[in-house]
């Protein structure tokens, strides 16, 4: 017999329902983005042209587009490249970094708001071991994951559904994104100058 409050292998009914709602919501958002043609605008050239033509508002447009694009599963590297090409290595790199942080924050908020912390109730030994490590050192684990997976939507969703606190998620993301986005900005600038 299980003790009250113990963790089981099965998520509780509300967690299952929230996961189903999250799946339906994200699938609907994805289908809407592609069916409406919005996703067609999220290309390297399209983003770069839009932010350059927006003048001083371009940076705000970029940050908003990055957040929406992340929800539509547009690869983050497209936004990083567009920022560097539009604003240059330094300003573009900083703009991409800020955009990435806003993007992962919005993604976290949407997924946590709909799906809750559904992964926190999983008791499978392997999954529980990973979640325990995340709970012990959340900033370090999130930072290491960001070094490898950058702004990958599945990572954002998994972390949002885990017990990690928003503050730890953002601090870990801020630390973990510095190196990959800096290298991407430097590499993209070199590649563009080499090809032109």
Average pLDDT per consecutive 10 residues, the chain (196 residues; last block may be shorter): 41 71 86 79 90 95 95 88 92 96 97 90 78 92 95 93 96 97 84 48
pLDDT of residue 109: 97
Residue 95 contacts residue 62 (beta carbons within 8 Å): yes
pTM, to two decimals: 0.84
pLDDT of residue 10: 44
Helices marked H in the chain: 13-35, 44-53, 58-71, 76-87, 89-115, 125-136, 138-149, 153-161, 166-195
pLDDT of residue 92: 94
pLDDT of residue 162: 94
Question: What residue spans define the domains of the chain?
Answer: 13-190
Side-chain half-sphere exposure of 65, counting CA atoms within 13 A: 29
pLDDT of residue 190: 67
Q: How far is CA 151 from CA 27, 56, 103, in A?
A: 19, 26, 8
Q: How far is CA 179 from CA 29, 39, 43, 99, 146, in A?
A: 31, 28, 24, 15, 9
What SS3 state is found at 8? strand
The CB density around residue 109, as the number of other CB atoms within 10 Å, is 13
pLDDT of residue 54: 96
pLDDT of residue 55: 93
Residue 84 contacts residue 170 (beta carbons within 8 Å): no
pLDDT of residue 120: 77
């Amino acid at each position: 017999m299980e003790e009250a409050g113990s963790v089981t292998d099965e998520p509780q009914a509300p967690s299952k329902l929230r996961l189903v709602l999250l799946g339906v919501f994200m699938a609907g958002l994805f289908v809407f983005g592609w069916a409406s043609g919005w996703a067609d605008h999220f290309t390297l050239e399209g983003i770069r042209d839009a932010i350059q033509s927006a003048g001083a508002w371009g940076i705000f447009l970029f940050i908003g587009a990055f957040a929406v694009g992340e929800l539509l599963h547009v690869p983050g590297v497209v936004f990083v490249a567009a920022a560097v090409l539009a604003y240059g290595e330094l300003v573009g790199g900083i703009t991409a970094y800020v955009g990435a942080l806003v993007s992962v924050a919005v993604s976290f908020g949407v997924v946590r708001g709909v799906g809750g912390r559904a992964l926190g109730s999983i008791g499978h030994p392997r999954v529980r071991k990973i979640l325990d490590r995340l709970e012990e050192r959340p900033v370090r684990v999130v930072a290491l994951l960001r070094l490898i997976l950058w702004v990958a939507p599945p990572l954002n969703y998994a972390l949002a559904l885990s017990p990690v606190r928003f503050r730890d998620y953002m601090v870990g993301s801020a630390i973990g994104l510095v190196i990959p986005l800096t290298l991407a900005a430097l590499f993209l600038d070199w590649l563009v100058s080499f090809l032109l």
